Structure 1
Amino acid sequence: MRPQAVQVAFRDVPSAVATAPPRPSHVEPVEIEKLADEIGARVVRVPGRPAAEVVVAGATLRAQHVRSGDLFAALPGTRVHGADFAEQALDAGASAVLTNAEGIERASLAEHPAVREGRVALLKHPDPRAVLGSAAALIYGDPSSRLKVLGVTGTSGKTTTTYLLESALRVAGYGTGLIGTVETRVCGERLDSAFTTPEAPDLQALLAVMAEQRVAYVPMEVSSHALAMGRVSGTKFAVGGFTNLSQDHLDFHRDLEDYFQAKALLFDGRAEREVVCVDTEWGERLAAKSGVITVSTERGEASWSATDVRAYATGEQTFTAHGPDGVEMPVRLRLPGPFNVANALLAIGVLHAAEVPLWAIERGLAEVDVPGRMERVALGQDFTAVVDYSHKPGAVSAVLDAARAQVDGKVVVVLGCGGDRDTAKRPLMGEAAARRSDLLVVTDDNPRSEDPADIRAAMLAGAHEVPGEERGEVREIGDRRAAIAAAVEAAEPGDIVVVAGKGHETGQEVAGVVHPFSDREELAAALRHRLGRSE
Structure 2
Amino acid sequence: MFQGFPLAVLSPALIPETPVTGVVFDSRAVQPGYVFVALQGGSVDGHRFIADAVERGASAVVGMQAGLEPGVPYVQVVEPREALAYLSAAFYDYPARQMTVVGVTGTDGKTTTSNLIYHMLLAGRKWAGMISTVNAQIGSETLDTGFHVTTPEAPEVQRYLARMVAAGLTHVVLESTSHGLAQHRVSACEFDVAVVTNITHEHLDYHGNYEAYRAAKARLFTSLSETSVKAQGNPRLAVLNCDDRSYSYLQAVTSARQVGYSLRADAGADLWAEDIHYDASGLHFWAVSRDFRVKIDSHLVGAFNIANILAALSACVFGLGIAPEDAAEGVRQLAAIPGRMERIDLGQDFTAIVDFAHTPFALESALRAAREMTQGRVIAIFGSAGLRDRQKRRMMAEVSAKLADFTVLTAEDPRTESLDDILEEMAQAARDTGGVEGETFWRVADRRAALRAGVALARPGDVVMACGKGHEQSMCFGTVEYPWDDRTALRSALAEHLGVEGPSMPLLPEV
Measured in 2, the distance between the counterparts of 1:468 and 1:159 equals 33
Q: Percent identity?
A: 35
Measured in 2, the distance between the counterparts of 1:515 and 1:330 equals 44
Displacement of 1:71 in angstroms is 1.7
Of the three residues 326, 333, 338, the one matched with 1:360 is: 326
2:507 is matched with none
Displacement of 1:200 in angstroms is 2.0
2:178 is matched with 224
2:221 is matched with 267
Q: Answer yes or no: is 1:79 the counterpart of 2:43.
A: yes
String of CA shifts for 1:225-283, please: whole Å, max 9, x gaps.
12112222211112100110111101101111111111111111426111111111212
2:416 is matched with 449
1:466 is matched with 433
Q: Answer yes or no: is 1:148 the counterpart of 2:108.
A: no
Displacement of 1:176 in angstroms is 2.3
SS of corresponding position for 1:356: coil
For residue 339 of structure 1, what is the amino acid of its counterpart?
F
Q: Which moved more, 1:385-394 or 1:136-145?
A: 136-145
1:399 is matched with 366
C-alpha change, 1:398 and 1:472, in structure 2 (3 Å) is: farther
Measured in 2, the distance between the counterparts of 1:320 and 1:230 equals 38
Measured in 2, the distance between the counterparts of 1:64 and 1:51 equals 22
1:186 is matched with 138
TM-score where L is the length of structure 1: 0.86
Q: Is the 8 A contact 1:287 1:294 kept in 2?
A: no
For residue 361 of structure 1, what is the amino acid of its counterpart?
A
C-alpha change, 1:380 and 1:124, in structure 2 (3 Å) is: same
For residue 359 of structure 1, what is the amino acid of its counterpart?
E
Q: Is the 8 A contact 2:12 2:75 kept in 1?
A: yes
Q: Which moved more, 1:194-203 or 1:182-191?
A: 194-203
1:503 is matched with 470
For residue 433 of structure 1, what is the amino acid of its counterpart?
S
- Pairing 1:123-522 to 2, within 5 Å after superposition: 123-194=75-146, 196-270=150-224, 272-288=236-252, 291-300=257-266, 301-314=268-281, 316-325=282-291, 327-352=292-317, 353-368=319-334, 369-468=336-435, 473-522=440-489
Displacement of 1:172 in angstroms is 2.7
Q: Is the 8 A contact 1:171 1:363 kept in 2?
A: yes
For residue 63 of structure 1, what is the amino acid of its counterpart?
S
SS of corresponding position for 1:292: strand
Measured in 1, the distance between the counterparts of 2:293 and 2:128 equals 26
Measured in 1, the distance between the counterparts of 2:51 and 2:139 equals 37
Displacement of 1:74 in angstroms is 0.9
Measured in 2, the distance between the counterparts of 1:193 and 1:333 equals 26
SS of corresponding position for 1:56: coil
Measured in 2, the distance between the counterparts of 1:534 and 1:201 equals 43
Q: Is the 8 A contact 2:10 2:78 kept in 1?
A: no
Q: Is the 8 A contact 2:100 2:192 kept in 1?
A: yes
Q: Is the 8 A contact 1:179 1:196 kept in 2?
A: no
Q: Is the 8 A contact 1:294 1:303 kept in 2?
A: yes
Displacement of 1:400 in angstroms is 0.3
String of CA shifts for 1:458-492, please: whole Å, max 9, x gaps.
111111111259x9701111110111011111100
SS of corresponding position for 2:442: strand
Q: Which moved more, 1:415-424 or 1:121-130?
A: 121-130
For residue 177 of structure 2, what is the amino acid of its counterpart?
S
Displacement of 1:298 in angstroms is 2.1
TM-score where L is the length of structure 2: 0.90
String of CA shifts for 1:147-199, please: whole Å, max 9, x gaps.
11110011000000011111122223333221111112211312221352222
Measured in 2, the distance between the counterparts of 1:201 and 1:151 equals 17
Q: Is the 8 A contact 1:60 1:202 kept in 2?
A: no
Measured in 2, the distance between the counterparts of 1:202 and 1:467 equals 47
Q: Where does structure 2 lack aligned partners over 5 or more consecutive residues?
A: 226-235, 503-511
Moved over 6 A (4+): none
SS of corresponding position for 2:333: coil
For residue 40 of structure 1, what is the amino acid of its counterpart?
A
SS of corresponding position for 2:82: helix
Q: Is the 8 A contact 2:265 2:274 kept in 1?
A: no
Q: Which moved more, 1:356-365 or 1:340-349?
A: 356-365
User: What is the CA RMSD across the aligned residues, in angstroms?
Assistant: 2.0
Measured in 2, the distance between the counterparts of 1:294 and 1:38 equals 32
Displacement of 1:57 in angstroms is 4.3
Q: Where does structure 1 lack aligned partners over 5 or more consecutive residues?
A: 1-29, 116-120
Q: Is the 8 A contact 2:191 2:223 kept in 1?
A: no
C-alpha change, 1:379 and 1:153, in structure 2 (3 Å) is: same
Displacement of 1:87 in angstroms is 2.8
SS of corresponding position for 1:394: helix
